[in-house]
Chains A and B, each alone.
Chain A
């Protein structure tokens, strides 16, 4: 040795690290996959097999079950189709608006339309309730004003002072509220990627605006139009929280029916049959979507946006941006407003009712009332949610990191495993809950199952957030670190982790948000004594009385704020170009 190295004390440390390195590449792959696969097998594929075996047992295929399944399937298609149609109706002009015009407040409006997509279903449902429901802003204000002017009762006969949106319409509108952003993004991107010279050429060849739209623009947009519609349809098809909370069990889609057959009218074979039907449908739609999405154009903005000039353009831009602002802002703002104003008699209040500003709905969350919905102060639900969310973050990173590492350098093995990892995305949350109920019956009294269910939902997102970041680290950096004396563990700690800090934070926040808002699986799994925020909101909304309603609003407002903060954090940590949807 030409240079005696004076770090003799570290020699023993260095020899301890041997075992990790003598591992062959194949063994390392295996070790990477060990935890994530074990998790998926135990918590996804095993429950799935229980559902499948129950489905294909004779008890499932009774005439009555098939009848129920058929009508649930029919109604699911019906509502999803109507919802998608309405979404297109609002989404297409909006996509055009954002792709073609430049106007004041455009980035803000665009962001506003994207907010609902990231909100938990219970928050959206509660927001719609806060605006259009029986105790919603519109209705209570109408009643309030009619109570102030009782003399106008004559007029009320002509214009009844009560406004409640029909639940089915509320469901459809909530779906539009949720998914319009998908149309705006996918179709809007395709629109702004169209080569303006094509339109100019068509015009020079004598085509008028209508024919250009029909013969040039529309055919070019078709793949992205199909892809966007299918994605919207897929989300509407599997919608659960919005339908249950705004419509109740009368509107029995597949999801709602599964929930009913697990908790309210127990018939597990039927629930299993329904969820298999559901899974097959979603997988088919996903396959179709992938085909269309692959055919869609790359986002490559070229056409320049213009300021509205002609009167027609000005009217279009003004009217549509006003409509969008109202449609998206009204529910989102009524929720906090409704949580802070007493507009009707609370339960148990007789006679004189205090109207106006109140923080009672929030302070009441800290009180453990006898005969209330819970055995614990409702705010406990928030602590439960935070605890579950933290556990979900830990678990999904624990399983997500090794899988993302393996997927970042795919071999043939990873090409097979990649779709398997993503499969939980295709199955609905209620189905995951059903699988847990069937598989871990003995554990259902424990609160431990919930974070695992949440991890199942969050894991695909976590992996998709980490994988490109890991793949972007040149292998040379790790080799350089190793040549400088860093053991594999030290390489991970000193190279991968610091570089992945942003992606990790983004993935963790994502997992946190998913867990906070998760409703379907939690509803089936959570114990009465361990409610989460979404479950608590559902309980409050299903109880009579203004106080319960107010508390639901307060809870939903809290959840909305938590989620919005998380979204902001994710946006800050997000790697540039790391995928949409």
Chain B
């Protein structure tokens, strides 16, 4: 399906994308997750053909798209600010791409109706787009992109402008629509909750490179790098020095927070610097016990996030008092 090969791009003289490669397979939703300014939207626009890369190329089904202008790529685009045509009503917005393909009136009517049904806006055809709410506008934008049955759908922070409850609702709808239509999709966001909810595969973009590529559960379980662990907020990341190789693949690591014995996938030299992740988990056989003075307690639905003076945090059922010294269990992991 879609293959992106070694894309390079600079922005105002500074490298933005430094050799990005990935693929999107049939029916797969790939999520590009990155901080704002990481170049993920630029990457999307290059795939769409709206911007040119300075190196590398994009191909679809093995065909290089370099000479295919955006309007012939047949990739649907959904923007954060919807980009609905203000001079057209809902029906004409959704019909736009079909008219560009010179379809017959009856077929257009059919397709528009089915697209609007897909996004639950059956009765909205004659409404002015400027009179719709944000959520409704985004549904129209989605229907408009779906109507042409593109061979790839691209979402650029599509829910960024919506409030939280609406976002969750639309996210669920979007996921089921993508599953239903089996259109491969690239979904760009900086919101990890969104990314983990919708993605079949997550790509994390950082410093112009893809630093992690895997299924949501894989990425969650093995962040691999300190950046990913920190970016996803999996726990407190801190530095330590390898002291000793205890047997059965475990290493003794010394840090400002104490000495920990952690499981590690790779070999280390004594004295080597490594990053450790203290993942707050409530029940875990391999947990390390840490203690600290409570500096902050935040209520989170069925638990409390308790932060210690050394920066570590855990989730507890009962709230301790600030200033109290508490013991808690975390799972220490080694990040290369």
Contacts and interface: CB of A to CB of B under 8 A. Distances in A.
Do A and B come together as binding partners?
yes
Interface of A: 1-3, 5, 7, 9-10, 13-15, 17-18, 21-22, 474, 476-477, 479-488, 490-491, 494-495, 498-499
Contacts of A491: 71
Contacts of B48: 479, 483
B183 A3 contact: yes
Given A7-B102, A498-B87, 11 more contacts: A5-B101, A7-B103, A13-B102, A476-B79, A480-B83, A480-B85, A482-B69, A483-B73, A483-B75, A483-B145, A485-B148
Nearest to B152: A2
Interface of B: 26-27, 45, 48-50, 61, 67, 69-77, 79, 81, 83-87, 96-97, 100-103, 141, 144-145, 148-151, 154, 182-184
Given A2-B26, A5-B149, A486 B83 contact: no
B79 A494 contact: no
Contacts of A14: 71-72
Contacts, number: 110
Contact of B83 (A479, A485, A499): A479
B151 A18 contact: no
Contacts of B76: 483-484
A480 B155 CA distance: 12
B77 A479 contact: yes
**Interface of chain B, helix or strand or loop or mixed?**
loop
A15 B67 CA distance: 10
Given A479-B48, A479-B50, A484 B86 contact: no
Contacts of A494: 96, 100
Contacts of A487: 69, 71, 100
Nearest to B26: A2
- Highest count of chain A CB atoms <10 Å: which of B61, B100, B141: B100
Contact of B70 (A1, A7, A483): A483
A486 B97 CA distance: 7
A21 B101 contact: no
A481 B79 CA distance: 12
A10 to B, nearest CB: 5
Contact of A476 (B49, B81, B148): B81
Contact of B71 (A5, A476, A483): A483
B71 A486 contact: yes
A11 to B, nearest CB: 9
Nearest to B147: A484
Given A22-B67, A484-B76, A476 B83 contact: yes
Contacts of A17: 69, 71-72
A474 B26 contact: no
A3 B146 CA distance: 11
A479 B67 contact: no
B84 to A, nearest CB: 8
A10 B72 contact: no
Given A3-B183, A476-B83, A485 B71 contact: yes
22 contacts: A1-B151, A3-B149, A3-B150, A5-B149, A10-B102, A21-B69, A21-B70, A21-B71, A474-B81, A479-B45, A480-B79, A480-B84, A480-B144, A482-B70, A482-B71, A483-B75, A484-B76, A485-B71, A485-B148, A488-B69, A488-B71, A499-B87
Contacts of B79: 476, 479-480
Given A2-B26, A479-B50, A7 B101 contact: yes
Nearest to A9: B102
A5 B98 CA distance: 11
A1 B149 CA distance: 11
Enumerate the 6 nearest inter-chain pairs by beta-carbon distance, A residue then B residue, closest first.
Answer: A484-B97, A21-B69, A483-B77, A476-B83, A485-B100, A480-B83
Contacts of B145: 483-484
A411 to B, nearest CB: 14
A10 B48 CA distance: 21
Contacts of A484: 71, 76, 96-97, 100, 144-145, 148
A90 B101 CA distance: 63
B49 to A, nearest CB: 8
Contacts of B67: 18, 22
B298 to A, nearest CB: 38
Nearest to B92: A494
A1 B61 contact: yes
A474 B27 contact: no
Nearest to B80: A476
Contact of A10 (B61, B97, B101): B101
Contacts of B183: 2-3
Contacts of B81: 474, 476
Contacts of B96: 481, 484, 486, 494
A18 B69 contact: yes
A490 B87 CA distance: 15
A264 to B, nearest CB: 54
Given A3-B183, A7-B103, A486-B100, A481 B148 contact: no
B85 A477 contact: yes
Given A9-B102, A484-B97, A2 B83 contact: no
Contacts of A480: 77, 79, 83-85, 141, 144
A7 B101 CA distance: 7
- Highest count of chain B CB atoms <10 Å: which of A21, A481, A485, A498: A485
Given A1-B61, A2-B151, A10-B102, A479 B69 contact: no
Given A2-B183, A474-B83, A479 B70 contact: yes
Nearest to B70: A482
Contacts of A7: 101-103
Contacts of A474: 81, 83
A488 B49 CA distance: 13
Contacts of A486: 71, 96-97, 100
- Highest count of chain B CB atoms <10 Å: which of A477, A490, A498: A477
A479 B76 CA distance: 10
B101 A485 contact: yes
B163 to A, nearest CB: 21
A477 B101 contact: no
A474 B85 CA distance: 10
A477 B182 CA distance: 26
A9 B103 CA distance: 10
Contacts of B71: 14, 17, 21, 481-488, 490-491
Contacts of B102: 7, 9-10, 13
A22 to B, nearest CB: 7
Nearest to B60: A1
A15 B72 CA distance: 8
A474 B148 CA distance: 22
A379 to B, nearest CB: 40
B86 A499 contact: yes
A436 B50 CA distance: 44
A10 B77 CA distance: 21
B72 A485 contact: yes
Nearest to B103: A7
A14 B97 CA distance: 13
A491 B96 CA distance: 11
A5 B83 contact: no
A20 to B, nearest CB: 8
A9 B76 CA distance: 21
